[in-house]
Chains A and B, each alone.
Chain A
Amino acid sequence: MSTGTLTGTTVTSSAAPRASKGPRRRTARRVLAAIATTVLLVIVAYPLIWLVLGSFKSQDEFLNNSVFALPESWSLDNYATAWTEGNLGTYIRNSVVAVFPSLALTIVLGVAAAFALQVMVWRGRNVVLFLFLAGIMVPAQMILLPLFTIYVRTGLTGTLWPLIITYTAIGLPLTVFMIATYFRGVPREIFEAAALDGAGALRTFLTIGFPLIRNAIFTVALVQFFFIWNDLLIALTFTSRDDLRTIQVGLLNFTGQFGQVQYGPTFAAISLNVLGTLAIYLVLNQRVMKGLTAGSVKG
């Protein structure tokens, strides 16, 4: 029984029966819609609430009390443990240091490339565009081993550079593809007019191309951000030391030497992640929804 079928049935059951619209029917519909909405929100929110409650429990409570029990005390010990012993602070710093530079680079390089491929006119641009397109389909596994060799030979292991470089390159195909789609939607006359005014190609790009699709860039950046932020494969392969780990890799490691799981600190670490993400999300949410609803992925 998946959530899909559940919401599916609520949609049909709360659907408008044919034209008749008595006031009683309308109330019934309202109630049904309210119930469906409540069920949906419980499905989404309950696991998260349970998680936050769990982050206050001790190991003993985890092992011997009911899972629905409220925590016996609201102490922040688990959070302290997660932060200090779990090195969470370091992991977050690494994630930030690895993700944001790559994100900025991907966007700058990708937008410039998309402009050159979509707006400018030259022979062979379709071939290059296709090359970038192919990159969307190639799984990262295909390039893992050679990259590893390259980074070792160049002595980059032991730093965060391998992550930054790889993220930037892996983000390029989708960025180029999406931004190119936006440029396609811009009337060519705008660029041509600029060119007639005597602006050079680079100036046209900087003064007209870039500002024109600012919203689009924001949307693409968000999509890329979630991809890179949630990456496990690359981070797992190229971080060989604990002080280089990102959040995703760090979270996998909340186990002791014999496989024992410290539930409390693990839950606390997850909660911190969720709450942190929630904060970022709430700040940016309006932009996300607008960007996505603006039909960013129509292509």
Chain B
Amino acid sequence: MNRVLGDRRAIVVLLGPALVLYSLVMLVPVVWSFGYTAFEGNAISGFHFVGLDNFRELVSDPKAHEALWFTVRFALVLTVVQVGAGYALALFYVFVLRRRSGLVRTLVFFPVVIPTVAVALLFQQLFEVAPRTGPVNQLLELVGLSPVDWFSAGGTSFVVLLLMETWRSMGFYAVLLYAGLIDIPEEMIESARLDGASWLALVRHIVVPLSLPVLLASLVFSINGTLKVFDSVVALTSGGPGSTTTPLTLYMFQTSFAYGQYGYGSTIALLLSVLCLLVTLVIFRSARRDATEA
């Protein structure tokens, strides 16, 4: 039996193609890219060895710091907001709409499948202030507030980005989390309710602990996506105004392709990779701790 499931030839046939492709297209380039960090230049000007200069540049480059700070801020805030919104929606589906939630779930899920660029173009128009006052600003005027020039500053652009990403993804997270909530036995909820537990206490002591695994999976999923955010930012603000909404991903892209600095671009990519690894590790460790506590 173990001869069968340990059959060398079968392993090579099954695993070989995937491993070869994966190595050639991902592993080798990662190492290669790591090598670039010690060089300067591009193929026109040729490469020359500069040792640790790129890393020194990274330490002293205000643009890199700004991009790093933006990336971290964006990932943390958006993860909390979008998973939070998704969780609230999931609770709403399970406890308020109950069996009638199917259609609503479907509709709210839909935005996640629209091409990001299309969504971004749409939000640009929605939040427009000039030359036309867009729908959002008209609403603000209706309730007696003055219109906001959303894209003129980093802070407000950040808000629009958050709203857009939340609008896009809350339905997706809601469905993911719904899967975790639906498994909670009705009797548990009912008996707690008969004991006179308040709604909040119910959520805190029964619902959240029981749906924790799915919640954690969503968090990992979300933070991994938000750290690598690229298309939404490019399409919505192009990193502007100035470079106030430029994440590391975009800064790396500009540095490499627009300014022809391959070495420095790779150094920024390395910083991003390290960041992703760190965050994932932290989440997994804390998840393990939570699991032991529970």
Of B170, B214, B221, which one neighbours A4 at CB under 8 angstroms? Answer: B170
Interface size on A, residues (CB 8 A): 113
Query: In the complex, what residue of chain A is closest to B112 when comparing beta carbons?
Result: A226
A4, A50, A121, A252: the one within 8 Å of B126 (CB): A50
Closest approach, in angstroms, between the C-beta of B221 and any C-beta of chain A?
A: 7
In the complex, whether B57 has a CB less than 8 A from a CB of chain A is no
CB-CB under 8 A from B28, the residues of chain A are 146
A18 adjacent to chain B (CB < 8 Å)? yes
- Are B33's CB and A143's CB within 8 A? yes
Q: Which residues of A contact B224 (CB under 8 A)?
A: 136-137
Given contacts A165-B25, A293-B175, contact A37 B110 (CB under 8 A): no
**Residue-by-residue, is B254-272 near A (CB-CB < 8 Å gives 1, otherwise 0)?**
0011000010011011101
Binary B-proximity of A110-126 (CB < 8 A = 1, otherwise 0): 10110111011110000
Q: Mark A249-279, 1 if CB is under 8 A from B, else 0.
A: 0011000000000010011011001100110
Residue interface mask B92-134, A partner, CB < 8 A = 1: 1001110000101111111111111110011101101001111
Contacts of A210-230 to chain B: CB distance below 8 A: 226, 229-230
A114 to chain B, nearest CB (A): 9
Hey, which chain A residues are within 8 Å of B249, CB to CB? 139, 141, 233
A33 is an interface residue with CB less than 8 A from chain B: yes
- Would A270 and B2 count as touching, CB distance under 8 A? no
Looking at the complex, which one of B10, B84, B257, B262 makes contact with A202 (CB distance below 8 Å)? Answer: B10
The one of A7, A17, A192, A299 that contacts B1, using a Cβ cutoff of 8 Å: A192
Cβ-based interface call for B208 (8 A):
no
Nearest CB in chain B: distance from A262 CB, A? 12
Nearest CB on A from B204, distance (A) = 13
Among A112, A141, A173, A248, the residue within 8 A (CB) of B15 is A112
- Given A139-B228, A232-B117, do A33 and B97 touch, yes or no (CB 8 Å)? yes
Q: How far is the CB of B86 from chain A (nearest CB, A)?
A: 8
**Distance A36 CA – B96 CA, assembled complex (angstroms):** 10
Q: Does B89 belong to the interface (CB within 8 Å)?
A: yes
Measured CA separation A201–B6 after assembly (Å): 8
Q: Which of B22-64 contact A (CB under 8 A)?
A: 22, 24-30, 32-33, 36, 43
- Give the chain A neighbours of B104 by CB distance below 8 A: 37, 40-41
Instruction: Please indicate the chain A residues that have their CB under 8 angstroms from the CB of B166 in the complex.
Output: 2-4
Q: Is the CB of B265 within 8 A of A169?
A: no
User: A155 on the interface (CB 8 Å rule)?
Assistant: no
9 other A-B residue contacts (CB within 8 Å) besides A7-B89, A113-B18, A137-B280: A4-B82, A37-B97, A44-B107, A139-B272, A146-B28, A231-B231, A252-B235, A289-B105, A292-B179
Q: List 30 A-B contacts (CB under 8 A).
A: A3-B167, A4-B81, A7-B89, A8-B84, A8-B88, A11-B92, A14-B92, A37-B97, A43-B167, A116-B14, A139-B228, A142-B30, A142-B270, A143-B25, A145-B266, A168-B21, A169-B25, A192-B1, A201-B5, A229-B115, A232-B230, A233-B231, A289-B106, A292-B179, A293-B178, A294-B179, A295-B183, A298-B180, A298-B213, A298-B214
Which B residues lie at the A interface, using CB under 8 A? 1-2, 4-8, 10-11, 13-15, 17-19, 21-22, 24-30, 32-33, 36, 43, 81-82, 84-85, 88-89, 91-92, 95-97, 102, 104-118, 121-123, 125-126, 128, 131-135, 138, 162-163, 166-167, 170-171, 175-176, 178-180, 182-183, 193-194, 196, 198-200, 213-214, 217-218, 221, 224, 227-228, 230-231, 234-235, 248-249, 252-253, 256-257, 262, 265-266, 268-270, 272-273, 276-277, 280
